[in-house]
Amino acid sequence: MQLEKKDFLGKKNRVAVGYDLNDEYAQISFFSSEAREPETVSVVTGSQLYNIPTALCKRNEVNQWFYGKEALKTAEAGEGILVTGLLSKAIAGEEVKVGEESFDAVAVLALFMKRSLALLNLIVHPDQIAVFMITVKELDQRMLEVLSQAAAALSLKNSQVFFQSHTESFYHYMVHQPKELWQHQAALFDFSGSSMTAYRLECNRHTTPMVAFMETGEYPYFIRSTEYNAEEAEHYQEWDRQFEQVVEEWTQGRIVSTAFLIGEGFDGGWCRESLKKLCRNRRVFQGNNLYSKGACYGAREKLSESDIEKQYVFLGKEKLKANIGMRMFRRGEEVYFALLDAGYNWFEVRKECEVILESGNSFDILVTPLTGGNPKSVEIVLEGLPRRERATTRLLLMFEPVLENRIRIRAEDLGFGEIVPATHQIWQEEFEI
């Protein structure tokens, strides 16, 4: 069931939910229709313990499953078989072996998600959820397929379900913060997994709409275990020195007004000297629920776009970064016909349309990058198209990105009714944007 945009803003007690998911933990935030900002669900009432370990444990000899911390405790007590790495196993299409039994990995992931949402059900009834946004580190076709299958098993009958990457969640979170925090650039250092990832949000305010984009970097040097150990502590001084270099790399020659440190990897107080450098002339925040809150903001935008986000288009790694269109005549006037718009996930968009070829055997596609490049025209030539009278060739065109910077176009000759029989000849070509 598709909900109209007015439903979320027009009805009380409706909520948007952000669900952050990775192999280590899940996290749930929610945004009610009357709240000023999202809240994050705690695993212990009254605390700020937000991380739900991404783990299941099947009790020995009975069909009883535990999730999160209870799963870890049950396995540690030797009372069941622990299953971890749920997201990776689902992406790989593995079967999950539990003793002598085998389970579909996507079904196991869905079971964890459903059990973890029980925490939210203590606060919000499932029928109140207007939109449910799942955020993961990177979003691609396979991830989208797995998450869609898992979400279908959650029984969110009255909800729209969407997906976005961590970079997009960071973007949505930042644009809803006070303007002074993102007046220039904002950096995020994520040490929530086994290694560190850095992000930097930048905006080009000289375009309309303004363009926001994200620089990313991976730092596998910072390798940690999921639990504290003495050997890891021996590396802390070197980590501090290395992180100081990372901070220098991400801030030198730039005006970075705000930085965020997220993830349990920053615990232990090891980054003393590097933190001094990071805090120089900028505000620094530490926490771990930024992505789930950003997913909440993104969820609300799906139903009712805010005034602030109308001014921006976000061009993350998975986004189409150029507008694709054609010039054509409509009612005697030349107009621009939009085909694919920048700012959408490239693997989720496609366009079909029918056009009448004015003359010849070719037509032009207009590509307008939003990343600062010059607009260009791409000529598509239909070799072997029969010669015909003016405006007597009807074409079915299909446009589909195959990568974030590459578009496939398919053209089929439909003829022109009884006047010109269709050959159904097909042409296919790819071009870069």
Contact between residue 130 and residue 16 where contact means Cβ atoms under 8 Å apart: yes
Task: Find the CATH number of the domain harbouring 222.
Answer: 3.30.420
Q: Is residue 326 located within the same domain as residue 418?
A: yes
Residue 79: per-residue pLDDT: 96
Assigned domain for 29 exists: no
Q: pLDDT class for 192, splitting at 50, 70, 90?
A: confident
Contact between residue 129 and residue 100 where contact means Cβ atoms under 8 Å apart: no
Task: Find the CATH number of the domain harbouring 350.
Answer: 2.60.34
Q: Is residue 310 located within the same domain as residue 343?
A: no
Assigned domain for 164 exists: no
Mean pLDDT of 175-188: 93
Q: pLDDT class for 232, splitting at 50, 70, 90?
A: low
Residue type, 84: T
Check whether 227 has a pLDDT greater than 90. Answer: no
Q: Is residue 206 located within the same domain as residue 309?
A: yes
d(CA 23, CA 367): 39
Question: Would you call 278 helix, strand, or coil by DSSP?
Answer: helix
Contact between residue 28 and residue 18 where contact means Cβ atoms under 8 Å apart: yes
Q: Is residue 340 located within the same domain as residue 308?
A: no
Q: Is residue 218 located within the same domain as residue 310?
A: yes
Q: Decide: residue 308, CB within 10 A, 0-12 exposed, 13-18 middle, 19+ buried.
A: exposed
Give tens-digit pLDDT for 366-386: 999 998 789 999 999 999 999
- Bond into 209 cis (ω within 30): yes
Give tens-digit pLDDT for 11-46: 567 899 999 999 999 999 999 888 889 999 999 887
Q: Which of 93, 122, 151 is the last residue of a domain?
A: 122
Q: Is residue 422 located within the same domain as residue 387?
A: yes
Task: Measure CA of the first residue to CA of the last residue in the chain; give whole Å.
Answer: 36
Q: Is residue 266 located within the same domain as residue 361?
A: no
Contact between residue 298 and residue 33 where contact means Cβ atoms under 8 Å apart: no
Check whether 176 has a pLDDT greater than 60. Answer: yes
Q: Is residue 311 located within the same domain as residue 355?
A: no
Q: Which of 294, 315, 336 is the last residue of a domain?
A: 315
Residue 231: per-residue pLDDT: 59
Q: Is residue 327 located within the same domain as residue 428?
A: yes
As for how many domains the chain has, the answer is 3
Q: Which of 122, 138, 159 is the last residue of a domain?
A: 122
Q: pLDDT class for 2, splitting at 50, 70, 90?
A: very low
Closest CA to 287 of 172, 170, 175: 170
Q: Is residue 328 located within the same domain as residue 406?
A: yes
Assigned domain for 155 exists: no
Residue 207: per-residue pLDDT: 86
Assigned domain for 34 exists: no
Assigned domain for 358 exists: yes
- What is the residue range of 362's domain? 322-432
Residue 183: per-residue pLDDT: 85
| Angle between helix 290-303 and helix 166-175 axes, rounded to 10 deg | 80
Assigned domain for 200 exists: yes
Q: Is residue 281 located within the same domain as residue 350?
A: no
Q: Is residue 82 located within the same domain as residue 61?
A: yes
Sequence length of the chain is 433
